[in-house]
Structure 1
Amino acid sequence: MTKRDYYEVLEVEKTATADEIKKAYRKKAIQYHPDKNPDDKEAEEKFKEAAEAYEVLSNPDKRARYDQFGHAGVGGAAGNGGPFGGFSGGGMSMDDIFSMFGDIFGGHSGGFSGFGGGSQRRRFRGSDLRVKVKLNLKEVSTGVEKKFKLKKYVECNHCHGSGAEGSSGVETCATCKGSGSVIRNQQTILGTMQTRTTCPTCNGEGTTVKEKCKVCSGDGIVHGEEVVTVKIPAGVAEGMQLSMSGKGNAGKHNGVAGDLLIQVEEEQHPDLIRDDNDLIYNLLLSFPTAALGGTVEIPTIDNKVKVKIDSGTQPGKVLRLRGKGLPSVNSYGVGDLLVNVSIYVPEALNKEEKSELEKMENSDNFKPNTSVKEKIFKKFKNFFD
């Protein structure tokens, strides 16, 4: 595949200064950083392409050769790889890119793990914890506080998380002098190339423990428990996941604590069915009530309400009780309670009941007219369509 012009990749002019090239690369690296574009192969390739362009244009000698001979001048003729093996099947890894160019971000990582490279010390992060919370519709409608007793890693009280025995048990790493990284020289066809990698002695922390804590064996964390109160907002739904930052397992050596992830489950209501923010109730009317009209009680989340039934109510009619549903989790209004009307037909009748119905059957009022037939046909047609 033909390589793009390096100036075009970074979107700078050929007369751009070193500072302008540096700023342009930083902008591209932030835009296509893997942490910002997870599982995006195209973004990853653009990230690598920008790093390759910067590696050449930030070096005065390589830039001069590139300006004169193009990709061939820096060993990067199309398809033959370049300083990074063309970023296709071999060459430098993503870690190498971070360690080599991380210092251009000036320690301002913006939340991305690779930014800062070897200029920042590594801090261990504790793992996340996951819990499930089951809520009924009443709790969903109002929001609720739930308490969890978590078994987790907590900071060691004996060493206060340092992992060292005594106040003077931690010392600056002799290998990296506290920076958390070391410089490695690599011989390439273009000469000696310097890369910055994580210090193998302190694993990037910048410090080492002279004598390990007797309680936590040098980790700075121990098994413990914590009671955590979680505020569940109104309107949450089945499958939603809430997060509490810093309430997961503690990180080793005063590292960053993980998060607590709360998975929401809903208890099934005996009468009401949830449909997003609306609630559905299936009302089964007796034939006399549907024909004559009357008043029925409808269950809601809080209590029961009386609803008037008009005479001649047909099966399939939907009554809407506004504002009797659930609130939106984003506080944008409240849903409704939809009452689906069905008519109960008795399965067994005595002689007197049969006689009365036979008399009514011959009445024109008990024979469905054309308009009723059309309404029923239309409802069934819409259902199957």
Structure 2
Amino acid sequence: MAKRDYYETLGVSKGASADEIKKAYRQKAKELHPDRNADNPKAEAQFKEANEAYEVLKDADKKAAYDRFGHAAFEGGMGGGGGPRGGGMGQGDFASAFSDVFDDLFGDMMGGRRGGAGSRAQRGNDLRYNLRINLEDAYAGMSKTINVPTAVSCSSCKGTGAEGGSEPQTCPTCSGMGKVRAQQGFFTVERTCPTCNGLGQTIKDPCKSCHGAGRIEKEKSLSVNIPAGVETGTRIRLAGEGEAGMRGGPTGDLYIFIEVNEHALFERESTNLFCRVPVSIASAALGGEIEVPTIDGGRSRVKIPEGSQTGRQMRLRGKGMPALRGGGRGDMFIELQVETPVNLTARQKEILKEFDTIKADNNPQGSSFFSSVKSFWDSMKG
């Protein structure tokens, strides 16, 4: 059976660039990989066919020969992707082609392209610090000193991990790559080098202070500026204040997560504050004025309208929390809680009983409720 055109196999035009050919092959390799097509008996053959096409088209000389002579360019032992006499790829050629694209498919996850030997210094970990503050501090903003347990660069070896000014040596097992590869059938498996643990270097004479790590554990004191308007969940990033990297690697970052404590008087919703204020029955019925606290430590006088009920709210504009990134301040809402008196004296009870005997239509909610009850009972009788 005649072989398929290599360009057709990869789904590209004859004038496709090297990048377009590589991109098409990567897509085919993912799509046709036998491990992802257990129910498709043709997948392995199609996968090998795509590898064979890519083995030729990725090479400028082989591609030029193929463009001129087609599959005949590789017949008669001339080499190329078709193998001897066009008999298909051998196991070694197939493994080589797949290994060739292994970095393209998985390079980002495995640490990027593997170039020459060199240091595999690792970036330090990012750190998290949970900071609890009061609502007053969130309102005004503050500067606070915190102590963070972390890893800092070793001063004895200046972060190299080597004693007495000596230098780390290239790892003999992985030649500085930090990775080792093993051939398993059609596939190339890549693992972290067991000798250097992926660092690409070994130290013959480790630093006595840090034991070759290039860093030591230490508590670091930092001053943190908390902006006004923060709320629970706000995250503050301090670049370069995380853990020091291994053997001179870059330092990680410190993330401070804010948690604002609950307040005894105020409840917060975004930039607005709510304050529940108890008022007596007489004050609610007759009206009057009350004095309420504000989050900045001040006081405001609020007028209570006659006949106020529990849950009634009054707004104090601009007395709430500041917006974190500008945009003014929220409002403060006073919510009335009409309080029923307890531990009444005999005289107080007498006055209330007398008041209750005076029939008047001055309980709108009660009148409405009992009117609804009467209608309900009448409908049930019907």
TM over 0.5: yes
Partner of 1:108: none
TM-score of the superposed pair, with normalisation by structure 2 = 0.66
Change (3 A) 1:122 1:99: farther
Equivalence map 1:188-267=2 (5 Å): 188=185, 199-267=193-261
Q: State how far apart, in whole Å, the 2-side matches of 1:186 and 1:161 are.
A: 36
Q: State how far apart, in whole Å, the 1-side matches of 2:365 and 2:145 are.
A: 61
The runs of 5 or more residues in structure 1 that have no matched partner are: 1-5, 29-51, 76-82, 85-91, 106-111, 378-385
Q: State how far apart, in whole Å, the 1-side matches of 2:334 and 2:312 are.
A: 8
- For residue 101 of structure 1, the aligned residue among 95, 101, 104 is 104
Counterpart AA for 2:104: F
Q: Verify the 8 A CA contact 1:129 1:258 in the aligned structure 2.
A: yes
Partner of 2:183: 186
Task: Tell me the CA shift for residue 179 of structure 1.
Answer: 4.9
Q: State how far apart, in whole Å, the 1-side matches of 2:292 and 2:285 are.
A: 19
SS in 2 for 1:279: strand
Equivalence map 1:10-159=2 (5 Å): 13-15=12-14, 16-22=16-22, 56=51, 58-60=54-56, 100-101=103-104, 114=110, 116-119=112-115, 122-159=120-157
Q: State how far apart, in whole Å, the 1-side matches of 2:26 and 2:272 are.
A: 48
Task: Tell me the CA shift for residue 160 of structure 1.
Answer: 0.1
Q: Verify the 8 A CA contact 2:150 2:218 in the aligned structure 1.
A: yes
Task: Tell me the CA shift for residue 126 of structure 1.
Answer: 2.9
- Max radius of gyration: which structure? 2
Q: State how far apart, in whole Å, the 2-side matches of 1:97 and 1:310 are.
A: 82
Partner of 1:287: 281
Two-structure CA RMSD over aligned residues (Å) = 4.4
**Number of aligned positions between the proteins:** 315
Partner of 2:301: 306
Counterpart AA for 1:336: D
Q: Verify the 8 A CA contact 1:99 1:197 in the aligned structure 2.
A: no
Counterpart AA for 2:317: R
Q: State how far apart, in whole Å, the 1-side matches of 2:295 and 2:263 are.
A: 9
Q: Verify the 8 A CA contact 2:127 2:252 in the aligned structure 1.
A: yes
Partner of 2:290: 296
- For residue 160 of structure 1, the aligned residue among 140, 143, 158 is 158
Change (3 A) 1:366 1:215: same
Q: Verify the 8 A CA contact 2:12 2:24 in the aligned structure 1.
A: no
1:360 aligns with 2:355: yes
Counterpart AA for 2:232: E
Q: Verify the 8 A CA contact 2:25 2:54 in the aligned structure 1.
A: no
Equivalence map 1:319-358=2 (5 Å): 319-358=314-353
SS in 1 for 2:337: strand
Q: State how far apart, in whole Å, the 2-side matches of 1:180 and 1:102 are.
A: 19
SS in 1 for 2:342: coil
Change (3 A) 1:326 1:200: same
Q: State how far apart, in whole Å, the 1-side matches of 2:193 and 2:100 are.
A: 16
Q: State how far apart, in whole Å, the 1-side matches of 2:353 and 2:344 are.
A: 12
Task: Tell me the CA shift for residue 240 of structure 1.
Answer: 4.5
Q: State how far apart, in whole Å, the 2-side matches of 1:74 and 1:306 are.
A: 90
Counterpart AA for 1:59: E
SS in 1 for 2:137: helix
Q: Verify the 8 A CA contact 1:122 1:180 in the aligned structure 2.
A: yes
* Percent of aligned positions that are identical: 37
Counterpart AA for 1:338: F
Q: State how far apart, in whole Å, the 2-side matches of 1:220 and 1:285 are.
A: 66
Partner of 2:380: none
Counterpart AA for 2:183: Q
